[in-house]
């Protein structure tokens, strides 16, 4: 039995790995990238909007929007191709994965075309040269001169960025801490968890201009020109698309559009950005977050319950070959899901399944969480059914009820009473754990709070707000569930 279970697991893993491997090698045989984008009519740009003036969130006519010079570059390229630009926000370290798995058509995110990246994606010509700086607390500015002044201290850099790698390579006795978002790094700096944050000079200037408590110093990193210049990334092998995009990029360079036009325009947004930083001002964003959190939770518990019932029945199936196979499959599934982190599952559904069918982030999130929840719910149900006394089944059977009828009318209703509290717990857990889907860009509560944080440059207040909102949701849910639990005890 154990051996067979192991075999099943090995099979599942082999299939998954094999699938991943073939899907990356199969690409780029023929290059129809340009034709594909033009047929589709949209050019989807992936970016990490925590990097003013390159890209950042700003409130335009009461709506949060991604703006910045990179968006202008994207618009110019899209116009050159005769298609519409769609901007998709995600964390910097998942941008290239999103590109490779076809979630976005191009990445513009102040990204430097380093040799390592060039191995995996294709870059256009350079559109802008930045250079590195280090942001410090103004009160400590006197202590630091450049990258060599941080001995015994910790500096921060965005995970997956060139600053992160260079800070590791080019400093001694300095700890380098990586975080997913630059806004978080700034927060950590202000609460003195970090002594400095390395980033591109224009970005450093933007953060300093927006926050009186910050200052900047030169980095004096030893860098090549392409390490400090930004280019647009496309999927490996999309030569036709890169060639077409290069026409716009060359124009941008030749007419110096970034300095003359895109940067001043971005600067205007930066100023309007800090006008109203009250949390009340953002109630709509928080409300959207609550809405999506609840949608994800309700859908996932619903589908998870259906899956859970099926799985638990399969796990309890006894008899012929098919039933035994079903039992093994269900057991392998439950073990596999419970043995891997939900975060990995969410990324797998979004990026992995995405290679076959292109699902939107929200759908992917609901699928992943339902699949995950189903495995747990299956165990609750199995436990609940097992807890119903055997005498009940025997009595029902001797009264002439069929197996199915016994299960449906006698066992399941009693089991449900036992399962209800665990099911309620699962619901409450999912309200909190659904926050994981923010990594694939679903606009749930955490995602919204990140937007508000980068919009207002305020770190703690949005976190406090969502903490209260999460509590209100879980507390209300647990009251409601308790009420039904008590009602059920009475019947």
Q: Which residues contact ligand ARG (rule: CB under 6 A)?
A: 48, 50-51, 54-55, 92, 109-112, 158, 161-162, 182, 200
The answer, yes or no, to whether the previous bond of 409 is cis (omega within 30 of 0) is: no
102 vs 131, beta carbon nearer ligand ARG: 131
Determine the angle formed by the axes of helices 239-254 and 33-40, rounding to 10 degrees: 80
Q: How far apart (Å, rounded) are the C-alpha atoms in residues 150 and 172? A: 8
The answer to whether residues 434 and 370 touch, using CB atoms and an 8 Å cutoff, is no
162 vs 297, beta carbon nearer ligand ARG: 162
112 vs 293, beta carbon nearer ligand ARG: 112
Q: How far apart (Å, rounded) are the C-alpha atoms in residues 133 and 218? A: 5
166 vs 426, beta carbon nearer ligand ARG: 166
Which has the closest alpha carbon to 50: 125, 159, 132, 146? 159
Q: How far is the CB of 489 from ligand ARG (least distance, A)?
A: 54
Q: How far is the CB of 404 from ligand ARG (least distance, A)?
A: 57
Q: How far is the CB of 161 from ligand ARG (least distance, A)?
A: 3
Q: H or E segment at 324? A: helix 321-338
161 vs 406, beta carbon nearer ligand ARG: 161
Q: How far is the CB of 206 from ligand ARG (least distance, A)?
A: 12
Instruction: Name the β-bridge partners of 477.
Output: none
- Cβ neighbours of residue 188 under 8 Å, at least 6 residues apart? 156, 177, 179, 194, 197
Determine whether 46 is exposed, middle or buried from the number of CB atoms within 10 Å of its CB (0-12, 13-18, 19+): buried
Q: How far is the CB of 148 from ligand ARG (least distance, A)?
A: 21
Q: How far apart (Å, rounded) are the C-alpha atoms in residues 297 and 290? A: 10
Place of tokens 């975060």: 343
162 vs 205, beta carbon nearer ligand ARG: 162
Q: How far is the CB of 159 from ligand ARG (least distance, A)?
A: 10
């Amino acid at each position: 039995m154990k051996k067979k279970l192991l075999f099943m697991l090995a099979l599942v893993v082999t299939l998954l790995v094999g699938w991943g491997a073939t899907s990356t090698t199969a690409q780029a045989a023929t290059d129809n990238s340009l034709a594909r984008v033009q047929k589709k009519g949209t050019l989807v740009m992936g970016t990490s909007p925590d990097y003013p003036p390159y890209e950042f969130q700003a409130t335009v006519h009461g709506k949060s929007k991604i703006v910045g010079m990179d968006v202008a570059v994207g618009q110019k390229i899209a116009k050159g191709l005769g298609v519409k630009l769609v901007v998709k926000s995600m964390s910097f370290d998942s941008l290239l994965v999103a590109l490779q798995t076809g979630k976005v058509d191009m990445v513009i995110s102040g990204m430097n075309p380093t040799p390592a990246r060039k191995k995996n994606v294709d870059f256009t010509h350079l559109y802008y040269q930045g250079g590195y700086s280090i942001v410090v607390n103004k009160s400590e500015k006197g202590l630091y001169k450049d990258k060599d002044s941080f001995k015994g201290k910790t500096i921060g850099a965005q995970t997956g960025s060139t600053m992160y790698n260079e800070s590791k390579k080019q400093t001694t006795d300095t700890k380098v801490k990586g975080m997913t978002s630059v806004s978080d790094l700034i927060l950590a700096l202000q609460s003195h968890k970090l002594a400095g944050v390395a980033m591109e000079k224009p970005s450093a200037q933007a953060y300093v201009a927006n926050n009186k408590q910050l200052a900047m110093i030169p980095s004096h990193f030893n860098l090549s020109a392409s390490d400090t210049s930004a280019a647009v990334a496309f999927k490996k092998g999309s030569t036709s698309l890169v060639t077409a995009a290069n026409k716009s990029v060359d124009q941008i360079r030749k007419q110096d559009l970034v300095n003359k036009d895109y940067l001043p325009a971005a600067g205007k947004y930066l100023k309007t950005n800090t006008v109203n930083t009250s949390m009340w001002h953002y109630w709509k964003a928080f409300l959207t977050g609550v809405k999506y959190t609840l949608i994800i939770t309700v859908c996932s518990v619903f589908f998870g319950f259906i899956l859970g019932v099926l799985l638990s029945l399969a796990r309890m199936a006894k008899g012929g070959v098919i039933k035994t196979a079903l039992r093994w499959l269900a057991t392998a599934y439950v073990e596999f899901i419970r043995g891997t982190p939900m975060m990995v599952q969410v990324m797998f559904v979004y990026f992995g399944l995405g290679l076959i069918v292109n699902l939107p982030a929200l759908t992917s999130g609901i699928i992943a969480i339902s699949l995950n929840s189903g495995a747990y719910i299956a165990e609750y149900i199995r436990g609940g059914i097992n807890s119903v006394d055997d005498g009940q089944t025997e009595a029902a059977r001797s009264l002439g009820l069929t197996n199915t009828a016994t299960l449906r009318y006698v066992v399941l209703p009693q089991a449900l009473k036992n399962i209800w509290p665990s099911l309620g717990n699962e619901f409450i857990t999912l309200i909190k754990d659904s926050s994981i889907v923010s990594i694939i860009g679903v606009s749930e509560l955490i995602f919204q709070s990140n937007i508000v944080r980068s919009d207002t440059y305020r770190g703690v207040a949005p976190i406090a707000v969502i903490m209260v909102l999460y509590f209100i949701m879980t507390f209300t849910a647990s009251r409601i569930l308790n009420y039904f639990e008590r009602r059920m005890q009475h019947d």
